[in-house]
Chains A and B, each alone.
Chain A
Amino acid sequence: MALPMTECLLCHRENLQQITLWQLLNFQPVEPSLLCQTCLDRLEPIPLDQACRGCGRHCSTQLCPDCTRWETLTNFKNRAMFQYNELLRQFMSQYKFYGDYRLRQVFQGKIKREVKQIKADLVIPIPINPITYQQRGFNQVAGFLEGVKTTAALATIEHDKQLPQSAKNRQQRLQMKQPFKLNLSTEKFNKKRILLVDDIYTTGRTIRHAATLLLDAGASEVVGLTLAHG
C-alpha cells in the first residue's frame, strides 16, 4: 500500500511510502516523510553511547582528542544527532544556501524529541547576522525549532567584514572573536540549565562562544544540540 505519490525534496525521485501493518492497525494519521527512503538510509545517526562526551562526535573513547584541547569550558557538552556526511551536506546546501525553507520540516520531529529529553529551562537558538537573515529570509536553526518554545537570548555583534564560518579553515575558525552578545539581563540565566541549538558543530568555536556568555551570566549548565557533527 502506498500513500499518494510525492517527490523526495532532496533527490526529486518519486517518494513512494509503504505503510506498515502497524501504522494501518494503529488508525493514527501517518506523517508522510519529505525525503525518500533511499535518502533517509544515507543518514548516519550518532548513537549516544558511542559519542564523545564533550562534543558529541562519533568516537570510541569517552573524550575525543579535540575535546581534550578545550580545557576551560567544564560545564558544557554537546550532543550531535548525525554525522555531517555527503547527504547532510547536500541537505544543508539546499536548505541554507539555496534557501529551500521547506526542508526545515525534515528533522523537526526528531529535534523536538531530543529537546524534550534534554529537559532544559531555556532553549536558545544560535542567531544569524541580520544581513544574512535579510537575504535568506529565515534563521535555519529557528526553522528546525518551529513549535518548540525558544528564547531569543543572543544577538550577533558586527565585527568588521567577516567571512562566513563555512568559508574558513580550522585555524581561522578557532581564532574567531566572540560573535554574540546577550539580549536579556543576566538574572534571566541565573542557575538555569540552558540548551543551545545550532545546525552544525565543526570546531565548536561558535557554540562554545555562546556557551561562555551564558555561563558567565550565571547559567548552571549549558548543553549544546546540533543536527550534525563534522
Chain B
Amino acid sequence: MMQVRQLFGRQVLADAISVTPDWQPKLLQRPSMMLTGQLVICQRCGQSTPKQTVRLPQGNYYCPHCFQLGRVTSNQNLWSLPEPNRFTKLTDSPLSWQGELTSAQNACSQEISAVFATGKTHLLWAVTGAGKTEMLFHGIEQALMKGLRVAIASPRVDVCLELAPRFQAAFTSIPQIVLYGEMNRPYAYKQLTICTTHQLLRFYHAFDVLVIDEVDAFPFAADPGLNYAAQQAKKESGALLYLTATPSKELSRLERQKRLSVSYLPARYHGHPLPEIKFKLTSHWRQSLMKHRLPVPVKKGLSQMISKHRKFLCFVPHIKDLAALASVLHTAFPELKTTTVYAGDPQRHEKVQRMRDGELDCLITTTILERGVTFSNIDVMVLGADDGVFSTAALVQIAGRAGRKSAYPDGLVAFFADRQTKIIQEARRQIRFVNQKARREGLIGVTHD
C-alpha cells in the first residue's frame, strides 16, 4: 500500500497501485505511452520515437529518452493523486533574508511577484551576476504564505546544490526537499522543492509556482522533452518563470510574437559593466600543444595574468585537451599551481573548492564550470573558442564568470581560437549589447568610454 503523500502531484510508474480505500477513487491513471501508426509518444517525458527502434521482443515498446528515471514501457500506467496543497497558510512572513534590492532589481522583483500571483508564464532575462535569486524571494514569500507549492528547477545539479542552501537560509521555517539523480535520500512531500529539470518528469500538475533557472543550459535547451516536463509538472493554473542570461532563439521568438512577457535586467547588481571579450587568433593551437609549445598569443596573455598574480579559469573544448594544456603550462610556468577538472572527475567538487579557497592559481576545465559557480576574483580564458561544444550561451556564461563580486568588478576575459566564428561574434555582440542597454538605462555607475 502506497502512502498518499508520496503521490500528491507525483506520477508513479506501475502496472497497478493501491492506496487506502478513501483515496482509491481519486487516483488518476494514464497510459504511460501513446501509440500512433509509426511512433510511440512517452507520456512522462513527451518524446516520440519511431516504433520499430524501441520494440521489445514481446511486442511492448519502451521510451529510450527517460529510462534513467526507471524505464517507461507501453504496458504500464502513470498513477497520481491531485495536488491538495496540504500546507498551512501563514500570517507572518517566512522570509528571513535581510538584503536590499537595487531599484532595477526591485522593479523586476515586483513583476515576478505579479506573475506568480496570476499564474502566467514569464521570462526574466538578467545578465550573469545580476542577482537573479534574490529577485525571486519576495514573489516566493507571498506564494508560500498563501500555502502554494513552489519548485525551483535547474538543468544542472551544481546549480541546484548551490541554490538549496541559499533558499534554506532565506526561508528557514519552510520545509524543503532537494531532488537530483544521485541523491541518497528518498522523496518526501514538501512545500518547497529544489530539483534538476530531469526530476520534474516525476511530477504531475504539482506546482503553483515553478521557476526554471538557467533555461539556456545544456541539456534543457537541447531537450524539448524537459520543456514538456515543465508544463506537466506545474498545475494548469500554475505560474512558470524562466530565468536566463542568454535566451535561446526559441524564447526570443516567443517574446517577439508577444506570447511570452519579459523582464530585463541588463546590469549587474554592483553597477559595473560586464567584462567584454578580448579575442586573439591562434594558429593550430592543438598541434602546438602536441609539440609541447604554447601558442604565442596564449603565452603572452598568460604571462600578463601571471605577472599580476591573477587567478584564472582556463576552458578547453574536450577532456583530452586538459592533460595536454596542463603539461605544457607546467613546463612554461613551473611555479603555477594548477589542476584539471571535468564532469566525470571523482574529485570534481574538492578541486572546485580548492580553487575557491585560493589554493590553486589556475583551474583547467571543460564546459562544466561554465555556469552556476562563483569565484570571487578571477580571470577567464578559453582556448579553442571556435569548437562546436561552445554555444553562444556557453561563451556568454563563461565570460560571465569574471568580475562577479562588487569588490572585484573587473576581470580579463580572453578567447583564443584558430578562427573567428559566428558564435564567438554573437557572444561578443550580446555582451556589448547588454552593456550599452545598461548604460542607456543609467544602470552603470562608472562609464568607461
Cβ of B60 under 8 Å from chain A: yes
Residue-wise interface mask of A (95-107) relative to B, using a CB-CB cutoff of 8 A (1 in contact, 0 not): 0001111100000
Which residues on A sit within 8 Å (CB–CB) of B269? none
- The reply to whether B56 and A137 form a contact with Cβ atoms under 8 Å apart is yes
Whole-angstrom distance between the Cβ of B45 and the nearest chain A Cβ: 14
Which residues on A sit within 8 Å (CB–CB) of B54? 101-102
Within 8 A of A (CB), among B49-88: 53-54, 56-58, 60, 62, 64, 67-68, 71, 73
Contact for B67 among A14, A100, A138, A142, CB less than 8 A: A100
Q: How far is A101 from B58 in the complex, measured between Cα atoms in Å?
A: 12
Contact for A137 among B53, B62, B68, CB less than 8 A: B62
Whole-angstrom distance between the Cβ of A92 and the nearest chain B Cβ: 14
- The reply to whether B67 and A137 form a contact with Cβ atoms under 8 Å apart is no
- The reply to whether A137 and B60 form a contact with Cβ atoms under 8 Å apart is yes
Which residues on B sit within 8 Å (CB–CB) of A98? 67-68, 71
Which residues on A sit within 8 Å (CB–CB) of B62? 99-101, 137
Which residues on A sit within 8 Å (CB–CB) of B56? 101, 137-138
Q: How far is A98 from B65 in the complex, measured between Cα atoms in Å?
A: 11
- The reply to whether A137 and B57 form a contact with Cβ atoms under 8 Å apart is yes
Which residues on A sit within 8 Å (CB–CB) of B71? 98-100
Q: How far is A94 from B65 in the complex, measured between Cα atoms in Å?
A: 12
Using known A-B contacts A98-B71, A99-B71, determine if residue A138 contacts B64 with beta carbons closer than 8 Å: no
Q: How far is A20 from B58 in the complex, measured between Cα atoms in Å?
A: 39
Which residues on B sit within 8 Å (CB–CB) of A101? 54, 56, 62
Q: How far is A139 from B71 in the complex, measured between Cα atoms in Å?
A: 16
Which residues on A sit within 8 Å (CB–CB) of B73? 137
Interface residues on chain B, size class = 10 to 19
Whole-angstrom distance between the Cβ of A36 and the nearest chain B Cβ: 12
Which residues on B sit within 8 Å (CB–CB) of A102? 53-54, 64
Q: How far is A137 from B56 in the complex, measured between Cα atoms in Å?
A: 6
Q: Which residue in chain A gives the minimum CB-CB distance to B55? A: A101
Q: How far is A138 from B388 in the complex, measured between Cα atoms in Å?
A: 38
Whole-angstrom distance between the Cβ of A12 and the nearest chain B Cβ: 8
- The reply to whether B58 and A137 form a contact with Cβ atoms under 8 Å apart is yes
Whole-angstrom distance between the Cβ of B155 and the nearest chain A Cβ: 14
Using known A-B contacts A137-B62, A137-B73, determine if residue A99 contacts B67 with beta carbons closer than 8 Å: yes
Which residues on B sit within 8 Å (CB–CB) of A100? 62, 64, 67, 71
Which residues on B sit within 8 Å (CB–CB) of A142? 57
Within 8 A of A (CB), among B352-379: none
Within 8 A of A (CB), among B307-322: none
Q: How far is A139 from B56 in the complex, measured between Cα atoms in Å?
A: 10
Whole-angstrom distance between the Cβ of A95 and the nearest chain B Cβ: 11
Q: How far is A102 from B54 in the complex, measured between Cα atoms in Å?
A: 7
Which residues on B sit within 8 Å (CB–CB) of A14? 388
Whole-angstrom distance between the Cβ of B62 and the nearest chain A Cβ: 7
Q: Which residue in chain B gives the minimum CB-CB distance to A99? A: B71
Q: How far is A185 from B64 in the complex, measured between Cα atoms in Å?
A: 40
Q: How far is A137 from B58 in the complex, measured between Cα atoms in Å?
A: 7
Which among A14, A99, A101 has the highest number of chain B CB atoms within 10 Å?
Answer: A101
Q: How far is A137 from B62 in the complex, measured between Cα atoms in Å?
A: 10
Within 8 A of A (CB), among B23-61: 53-54, 56-58, 60
Which among A94, A100, A142 has the highest number of chain B CB atoms within 10 Å?
Answer: A100
Whole-angstrom distance between the Cβ of B229 and the nearest chain A Cβ: 17
Q: Which residue in chain B gives the minimum CB-CB distance to A134? A: B58
Q: Which residue in chain B gives the minimum CB-CB distance to A101? A: B56
Q: Which residue in chain B gives the minimum CB-CB distance to A12? A: B219
Q: How far is A98 from B72 in the complex, measured between Cα atoms in Å?
A: 10
Whole-angstrom distance between the Cβ of B445 and the nearest chain A Cβ: 43
Q: How far is A102 from B55 in the complex, measured between Cα atoms in Å?
A: 9
- The reply to whether A138 and B68 form a contact with Cβ atoms under 8 Å apart is no
Residue-wise interface mask of B (374-405) relative to A, using a CB-CB cutoff of 8 A (1 in contact, 0 not): 00000000000000100000000000000000
Q: How far is A115 from B399 in the complex, measured between Cα atoms in Å?
A: 54
Which residues on A sit within 8 Å (CB–CB) of B58? 137
Within 8 A of B (CB), among A1-40: 14
Which residues on A sit within 8 Å (CB–CB) of B60? 137
Q: How far is A174 from B375 in the complex, measured between Cα atoms in Å?
A: 53
Within 8 A of B (CB), among A121-140: 137-139
Q: How far is A209 from B71 in the complex, measured between Cα atoms in Å?
A: 32
Which residues on A sit within 8 Å (CB–CB) of B388? 14
Which among A14, A102, A139 has the highest number of chain B CB atoms within 10 Å?
Answer: A102
Whole-angstrom distance between the Cβ of A173 and the nearest chain B Cβ: 27
Residue-wise interface mask of B (131-150) relative to A, using a CB-CB cutoff of 8 A (1 in contact, 0 not): 00000000000000000000
Q: How far is A64 from B213 in the complex, measured between Cα atoms in Å?
A: 55
Which among A14, A94, A98 has the highest number of chain B CB atoms within 10 Å?
Answer: A98
Q: Which residue in chain B gives the minimum CB-CB distance to A16? A: B388
Closest 6 CB pairs of A and B: A137-B56, A99-B71, A98-B67, A138-B57, A138-B56, A100-B67
**Residues of chain A at the chain B interface (Cβ within 8 Å):** 14, 94, 98-102, 137-139, 142
Can you offer 28 A-B residue contacts whose CB atoms are under 8 A? A14-B388, A94-B67, A98-B67, A98-B68, A98-B71, A99-B62, A99-B67, A99-B71, A100-B62, A100-B64, A100-B67, A100-B71, A101-B54, A101-B56, A101-B62, A102-B53, A102-B54, A102-B64, A137-B56, A137-B57, A137-B58, A137-B60, A137-B62, A137-B73, A138-B56, A138-B57, A139-B57, A142-B57
**Residues of chain B at the chain A interface (Cβ within 8 Å):** 53-54, 56-58, 60, 62, 64, 67-68, 71, 73, 388
Beyond the given A98-B67, A99-B67, please list 17 additional residue pairs across the A-B interface where CB-CB is below 8 A.
A94-B67, A99-B62, A100-B64, A100-B71, A101-B54, A101-B56, A101-B62, A102-B54, A102-B64, A137-B56, A137-B57, A137-B58, A137-B60, A137-B62, A137-B73, A138-B56, A142-B57
